[in-house]
Every structure is written in C-alpha cells, then in structure tokens.
C-alpha cells in the first residue's frame, strides 16, 4: 500500500534576508518542523532567490552530497579544492563534501536575480575524498521525457553521487503522461513541481509543490498545463 506526503508550496518554511528569499521544503536554519526533517536520505530542498551580485560567503560542509540546479540566472562557485565555475540555467552541479570542504556561491549577474534549487542528501559512505562534478544538460532530452540527470554510477547519464539515488527532470506538454519505475527496492520518490500543474497517481499538484511517495514500484505522472516542469528524486528511505 502506497504511503504519501504532500507539501504544498505555501506550507514551506521561509526566510527573507533582503538579498536572499528562501523557501524550505524541510527543516533548515531557523525553520524547524519536526514533521518535515527529511524524506529518506533527502535532507534539504531549498528554493532560493539570490539578489543580483549577492550570495553566500565561504562556509564549510562535510559528509553531505550537495546538488545545485539553477532555475533562472546563474551562480559563481568557488571552493577549497580549487574549483571556480559558473553554474548556469541548464546545468547541474554536485559536490561531495566528504571529509570537509569550504565553498562560496554568488550571483555573478549585476542586473538580475538568480533562482536555484539546493538539495542535500546524506551519503552512503562517510569521510570520502571531497569531489566536484558539473554538467551542462542536453535540454532536448527532457522534452516530454524524464531525462536522467544524476545517478550513483560514474559512467551513467548525469552527475554522480555517493548514494543509491537517481534524479530525473522533464518538461511536458499538457495531457502528456508518463510512468516512472522506482530504480531500487527500498527507495521512494520525492517529486518537486518546478512549473505548471500535474497529477501524480491522481493527486493534483501545482507549481513548487512537493510530493513524496514510497512502498510502490512505479508512479504515473500527467501534465495538466503546457511546460509542466518536474524534478523526480528517487532516494533510499533508510539513512545508512
């Protein structure tokens, strides 16, 4: 029997620091909700709007898989491993913090805000050597299709992580339906609606809603509007 949670967009935690307007699907910083600590190994799902020229100064992380997906604009990333990269819309970045890293992220544009998703997952291996991975996605593969953008396998499509997780992203025309089969026994799916309206197994979801489901083998997704954009995160439900 399926188990579900629905996180409507207007029930997320929020923070407004002027230069940063953040929305939290799970407890983060000053937002604490004991019923929304995580979804399996998915610990953080932040929807951030970062003002032009502003950003996060150098700060540390360890033993976390950190994924950044720009939805609008760009971020400039610098870290203690010597990486200095611009992450644009259409890119995905993954960083394994492992034994410890420091990094900063700034909006490099002086005339427009940046909107990004920052996602954290608990790793399945602790104290790994920190690493950085970034990829420009082929957007044609996500049209009316769930394009794989992250996996646990270094030679697979997308960036890779130290976790038995798979992410897919797609943009669908109205009334297009697709099935998604969960990749691994014991995994569940957390689906985030980036834009538009959809149904998942008959449940209606709107822009920036989150939907978690587990104890099922597959789900059915149907677009109810044109350009319905979704992120499907297939993750273990048990933290190692």
Q: What is the pLDDT of residues 184-219, one digit of tens each?
A: 999 999 999 999 999 999 999 999 999 999 999 999
Across the range 178-187, mean pLDDT stands at 97
* Alpha carbon separation from 79 to 214, 215, 230 (Å, rounded): 36, 39, 29
Across the range 87-103, mean pLDDT stands at 96
pLDDT at 22: 97
The rounded mean pLDDT for the chain is 96
Superfamily of domain 3-126+138-236: Jelly Rolls (2.60.120.10)
Domain boundaries, the chain: 3-126+138-236
Return d(Cα 205, Cα 9) in angstroms, integer: 9
Contacts of residue 117, defined as CB under 8 A and 6 or more positions apart, other chains included, come to 45, 46, 47, 48, 67, 68, 69, 71, 192, 194, 231
pLDDT at 59: 94
Structure tokens at 240: 């190692």
Return d(Cα 145, Cα 178) in angstroms, integer: 8
Return d(Cα 193, Cα 195) in angstroms, integer: 6
Across the range 92-113, mean pLDDT stands at 96
pLDDT digits (tens, 9 = 90+) for 115-132: 999 999 999 999 999 999
Return d(Cα 172, Cα 226) in angstroms, integer: 6
pLDDT digits (tens, 9 = 90+) for 221-235: 999 999 999 999 999
- The two beta strands, 198-200 and 203-205, are antiparallel
Cβ atoms within 10 Å of 191's Cβ, excluding its own: 22
On the question of pLDDT at 1 being above 90, the answer is no
Across the range 81-103, mean pLDDT stands at 95
pLDDT at 191: 98
């Amino acid at each position: 029997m399926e188990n579900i949670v629905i996180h409507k967009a207007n029930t997320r935690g929020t923070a407004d620091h002027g230069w940063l307007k953040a929305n939290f699907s799970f407890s983060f910083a000053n937002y604490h909700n004991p019923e929304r600590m995580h979804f399996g190994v998915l610990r953080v799902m932040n929807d951030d709007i970062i003002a032009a020229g502003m950003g996060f100064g150098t700060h540390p992380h360890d033993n976390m898989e950190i994924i950044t997906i720009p939805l609008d604009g760009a971020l400039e990333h610098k870290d203690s491993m010597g990486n200095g990269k611009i992450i644009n819309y259409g890119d995905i970045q993954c960083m394994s913090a492992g034994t410890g890293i420091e990094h900063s992220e700034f909006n490099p544009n002086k005339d427009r805000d940046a909107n990004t998703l920052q996602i954290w997952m608990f790793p399945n291996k602790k104290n790994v050597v920190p690493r950085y991975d970034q990829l420009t996605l082929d957007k044609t593969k996500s049209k009316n299709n769930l394009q794989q953008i992250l996996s646990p396998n270094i030679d697979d499509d997308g960036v890779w992580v130290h976790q038995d997780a798979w992410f897919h992203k797609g943009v669908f025309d109205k009334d297009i339906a697709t099935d998604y089969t969960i990749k691994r026994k014991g995994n569940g799916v957390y689906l985030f609606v980036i834009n538009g309206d959809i149904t998942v197994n008959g449940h209606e979801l709107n822009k920036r809603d989150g939907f978690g489901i587990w104890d099922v083998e597959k789900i059915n997704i149907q677009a109810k509007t044109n350009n319905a954009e979704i992120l499907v995160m297939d993750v273990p439900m048990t933290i190692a």
